[in-house]
Amino acid sequence: MPITNQIQFEEVRDRFGSFLRERQLRQTPERISILEEIYKATDHFDADELFLKLQANDVRVSRATVYNTLDLLIDCKLVRRHQFGDKQAKYEPAHAYAQHDHLICEDCNQLFEFCDPRIQGIQEMVAEIFQFDVIRHSLNLYGHCRRENCPNKPAEEPNG
Amino acid sequence: MPITNQIQFEEVRDRFGSFLRERQLRQTPERISILEEIYKATDHFDADELFLKLQANDVRVSRATVYNTLDLLIDCKLVRRHQFGDKQAKYEPAHAYAQHDHLICEDCNQLFEFCDPRIQGIQEMVAEIFQFDVIRHSLNLYGHCRRENCPNKPAEEPNG
DNA sequence: ATAACTGCAAAACATTTGCATACAG
DNA sequence: CTGTATGCAAATGTTTTGCAGTTAT
């Protein structure tokens, strides 16, 4: 749950700054504005939502720049990208939040986050068996939440 | 590794037949040919690869029908769909193969399959905590294989 | 100064859709 | 026969690209 305060954000911006300097890339106002907007997010978002939020805040950037900057931020490990089954990618700010996995309700599309240490063990075991350097993982659980107000809840099966 | 013999395939075709009958859908030659082609596969494939293989075998079907039939086969649980980070979906025949997860080399894009019983435990625990009915999961591990002939192997980091 | 970045609009790409025709039940 | 499935081509939605103009360094 990304509630980033000002001090944390300075750190994030510095990290992006160093990253850009290292690679001899430019620290443009567009890139900084995009990073700021991303770190206001309290949830996952897609590229177009980000583009529209920027517009709403009178930050004039093109979609092309949004995509370009997202890629940079992913390289820099300040943003994570997820593919939750839709063809459109979802993103989330990544700084200072523990690596976590996702639980998705296929009726209301709501996302929940969880952590389980056993995944680390699986990752290490598989790496050993296959002689791989495993860099990251993605575990998504799909199902149905039992919330009353969940829309599209499938009717009880007449005969199971 | 889907090496399906003739007898197993009869079973698969029957299952598809029952599924279609149940739903009052038609058993068209196109649908059967697509199922046959899918069960020849020894690896994951994408929709267009499947379309091209069918063409190569002089089975004249449109892409629309390929997509339509893939959806039916997924409902029928004879095919599984995966999103491995590309925007284009991958598919695999699902009959008689244990549920497994995937290890992906990001240099050569090669796929490996593994099973780990701990995932079941995670799934159950998370379902309990979040009061969810968890239907399925998708666990992908991404990294670098250590095969000699893996292309695009990143050079040794010069420093740190 | 100058090479990288930007916006724009067009292209690319996978997938879906609409509609006239074909055909399974 | 009848409505469902098909093929085709056009539409869709997301992401990428090419290029002329702009700007950080």
- A10-28 pLDDT, tens digit per residue, is 999 999 999 999 999 999 9
Burial (CB count within 10 angstroms: exposed 0-12, middle 13-18, buried 19+), residue A123: buried
Measured CA distances, A148 to A152, B3, B91, B114, B143 (Å): 11, 45, 34, 37, 40
**Same domain (yes/no): B50, B78:** yes
B135 touches A: beta carbon within 8 Å: yes
- Residues 15-74 of chain B with CB under 8 A from chain A are none
Does residue A63 lie within 7 Å of nucleic acid chain D, judged by its CB? Answer: yes
> From the alpha carbon of A54, which nucleotide's C1' atom is closest?
C7
- Which spans in A4-142 are helix H? 6-22, 29-40, 47-56, 63-75, 118-130
Q: Which of A66, A29, A68, A70 is nearest to A51 (CA)?
A: A66
Q: Which structural domain, as residue segments, surrounds residue B92? A: 1-97
Cα distance from N-terminal residue to C-terminal residue, chain B: 39
B150 touches A: beta carbon within 8 Å: no
- Residue located via tokens 């409902």: B75
**Same domain (yes/no): A62, A74:** yes
Does residue B25 lie within 7 Å of nucleic acid chain D, judged by its CB? Answer: yes
pLDDT of B109 strictly over 90: no
Minimum mean pLDDT among A60-64, B143-147, B154-158: which range?
Answer: B154-158
Residue nearest to nucleotide D7 (CA to C1'): B62
Question: How big is the A-B interface in CB pairs under 8 Å?
Answer: 114
Percent of all residues in chain B with a pLDDT value above 70, rounded to a whole number: 90
pLDDT at res. A151? 73
Tell me if residue B111 falls in helix, strand or coil.
strand
**Same domain (yes/no): A24, A41:** yes
The Cα A139–Cα A154 span in angstroms is 24
Last residue of a domain, one of A81, A97, A113: A97
Minimum mean pLDDT among A50-64, A125-139, B114-128, B144-158: which range?
Answer: B144-158
pLDDT of B36 strictly over 60: yes
The two most distant CA atoms of chain A are separated, in Å, by: 64
**Separation of CA A72 from chain center:** 14
**Same domain (yes/no): B93, B103:** no
**Same domain (yes/no): B109, B143:** yes
- Number of domains into which chain B is organized: 2
**Same domain (yes/no): A93, A134:** no
**Same domain (yes/no): A152, A79:** no
pLDDT at res. B74? 96
Instruction: Indicate the residue type of A89.
Output: A
**Same domain (yes/no): B72, B3:** yes
Last residue of a domain, one of A97, A113, A130: A97
Last residue of a domain, one of A97, A132, A149: A97
Of A114, A122, A142, the CB nearest to B136: A142
Residues 28-67 of B with CB under 7 A from strand C: 28-29, 46-48, 63-64, 67
* Interchain CB distance below 8 Å, A106 and B137: no
Question: In 3-state terms, chain B is what percent helix, strand and coil (to 5)?
Answer: 40, 20, 40
The CATH number linked to A111 is 3.30.1490.190
**Same domain (yes/no): A1, A61:** yes
A104 touches B: beta carbon within 8 Å: no
**Same domain (yes/no): B59, B48:** yes
Q: Which of A6, A59, A7, A11 is nearest to A31 (CA)?
A: A59
Q: In the predicted model, what is the mean pLDDT of residues A36-62?
A: 94
The Cα B71–Cα A124 span in angstroms is 35
The Cα A42–Cα A4 span in angstroms is 9
The Cα B50–Cα B2 span in angstroms is 15
**Same domain (yes/no): A81, A140:** no
